[in-house]
Structure 1
Amino acid sequence: MTSPHTLLAAWELRARKELGQNFLKQPSTAEKIVKAADIGADEVILEIGAGLGALTIAAARRAGRVIAVEKDRQLIPLLKAELLANGFEQVEVLEHDILSLDLQKLAHESGQPITVMGNLPYNISSQVVVKLIQERAFVRRAVLMFQKELAERLCAAPGSKAYGRLSVILQYCAHIRVLREVKAEMFFPRPKVDSAVLGINFKTAIAPLVGDETLFVRVIQAAFGQRRKTLRNALAGGLPPLGSEGALAVLQQAGIEPRRRAETLSVNEFVALTDVVKAYLDR
């Protein structure tokens, strides 16, 4: 694979900062990521932000089918040329915004849940995670590269500063592990921070299972809405139907000290709290 700097210059293109474009410089880095992810020949890969094709080519060597999604119209001809030059013209290239892509339709056409992978643009990383959570019935697993800070937040344990809304929501429905770290100097243009690749395997069975997942998200958002506040005050302010007395009542019923703060609660405690809140609101 030609270096990103040389490729872009040859096509009279530049990396677009507004799209969060940082391209892997070495094919060996992409190969190591795909190897660590243990991509199998039976998997259908949906790659987010294929860019110049580094991960695309590495994935195509192992997977049964690869669908490369790229939003930047200017990169599409370059990407197709790189795939052709490497003998992977069978890779499907889609010009599309991943946030509006119909994953259910893709999974249905593929006859199986898809594996999502990609070097995520920093400006949509959280939105992609939320989309995958919402549409996880059609996703087998995800192998995603994040800025290291966000990767740490997603993996964070209760009681840590990094633990927050996305930590709870993702850990509720998925097993997460760090596959490898990627230094900033491995990208062009070089970003300011290092990255980490996470393997996200969505659970086939969730236990304990929350009764109302939409309310679960609302409770978590309310709890973390003002981190310095106690849970009682945060829930009273973030879930107006409860009020201060209602917040106290549901916390006590869930066996949670009202003076605790959101970052101290485990995923299971948030599940228990949500079920109590639902029963309280449904009275």
Structure 2
Amino acid sequence: MATLGNPQETIAILQKYQFNFQKKFGQNFLIDTHVLDKIIAAADITKDDLVLEIGPGIGTMTQYLCENAREVVAVEIDKNLIPILEDTLSAYDNVTVINGDILKVDINKIVEERNNGKPIKVVANLPYYITTPIIMGLFESHVPIENITVMVQKEVADRMQVGPGTKEYGALSLAVQYYAEPYIVANVPPNCFMPRPKVGSAVIRLTRHAEPPVQVKDEKLMFQLIRASFNQRRKTLVNGISNASELSFSKEQITKALEQMGKPATVRGETFGLEEFATLANYL
């Protein structure tokens, strides 16, 4: 039975091991069982599932995952947390803890060896400073993933879910929505963590698309166009793309492509959805 998830037990285990929080790892441990229950429910974890947990911390969510999943692989970057995890997870025989950087771990190998290449589920309380690289790294690696349920900064969760024409809309919105269907499960206040973060948080579930929502000939080009369009947000799409160092399209080429789409040369990238960026990439 899970023993963590409240302030008293969390403080006790931290004092037992004289653990000091490391700011460079963005450590904020969950101390609210209601939030933990919501994460487990949102991830839709069953006894058939292999779950990859990123940043298990002291093992709070890991205990819940072990009780609901067939197997859990938890990747923790902080070597000082490994003895604590060995203690808090000692009652479970369905968990493997890896001390490493998730951006360098061969997740495809884990999936092949432990799940016969079938899709896994990912659960994480992510360090806010590295949220985007981790999520995009998972998507771009083409690891078979059914869904990703993560705790992120509230502002980032909002950006993942919004559509064109809003101030939060940007390259992250488009990238996430190309790979998955985002859904904000719950907003989580700072008092649900130890130590308390300075910003609000949210649990978001990203359900992987079976097929991309748009047809694009060159995926890499589409994302280059997206980045160029939002790097200089106040400029027109023509100026943003023509000024991008990683691209070599002239203003005339871009204007012609926009004309073929029935769009004016004055259009801005923030008004384009995935469909428009895919079409633009196909015309260019």
Q: Is 1:185 aligned to residue 191 of structure 2?
A: yes
Q: CA deviation at 1:124?
A: 0.9
Q: CA deviation at 1:137?
A: 4.2
Q: Could you tell me which residue of structure 2 aligns to residue 197 of structure 1?
A: 203
Q: CA deviation at 1:216?
A: 1.1
Q: Could you tell me which residue of structure 1 aligns to residue 112 of structure 2?
A: 108
CA distance in 1, matches of 2:181, 2:62: 24
Structure 1 runs (4+) greater than 6 angstroms displaced:
none
CA distance in 2, matches of 1:59, 1:103: 18
Q: Is 1:245 aligned to residue 258 of structure 2?
A: no
Classify the secondary structure of the residue corresponding to 1:200.
strand
Whether the 8 Å CA contact 2:43–2:147 is kept in 1: the answer is no
CA distance in 1, matches of 2:224, 2:143: 21
Q: Could you tell me which residue of structure 2 aligns to residue 261 of structure 1?
A: 268
Structure 1: gaps of 5 or more residues: 278-283
Q: Is 1:127 aligned to residue 129 of structure 2?
A: no
> Deviations 1:177-217 (Å, cap 9, x if unpaired)?
11112111000000011111111111112232211111111
Describe the shift of the 1:247–1:51 C-alpha distance in structure 2 as closer, same or farther (beyond 3 A): same
Classify the secondary structure of the residue corresponding to 2:243.
helix
Q: Could you tell me which residue of structure 2 aligns to residue 46 of structure 1?
A: 52
1:35 to 41, 45, 60: 41
Q: CA deviation at 1:233?
A: 0.7
Tell me the matched-pair count.
Answer: 275
1:157 to 157, 163, 167: 163
Structure 2: gaps of 5 or more residues: none
> What percent identity do the matched residue pairs reach?
36
TM-score (normalizing by structure 2): 0.93
Classify the secondary structure of the residue corresponding to 1:116.
strand
Q: Is 1:95 aligned to residue 99 of structure 2?
A: yes
Comparing 152-161 with 33-42, which one deviates more in the overlay?
33-42
Q: CA deviation at 1:31?
A: 2.3
Q: Could you tell me which residue of structure 1 aligns to residue 73 of structure 2?
A: 67
Whether the 8 Å CA contact 1:251–1:257 is kept in 2: the answer is yes
Classify the secondary structure of the residue corresponding to 1:61.
helix
TM-score (normalizing by structure 1): 0.93
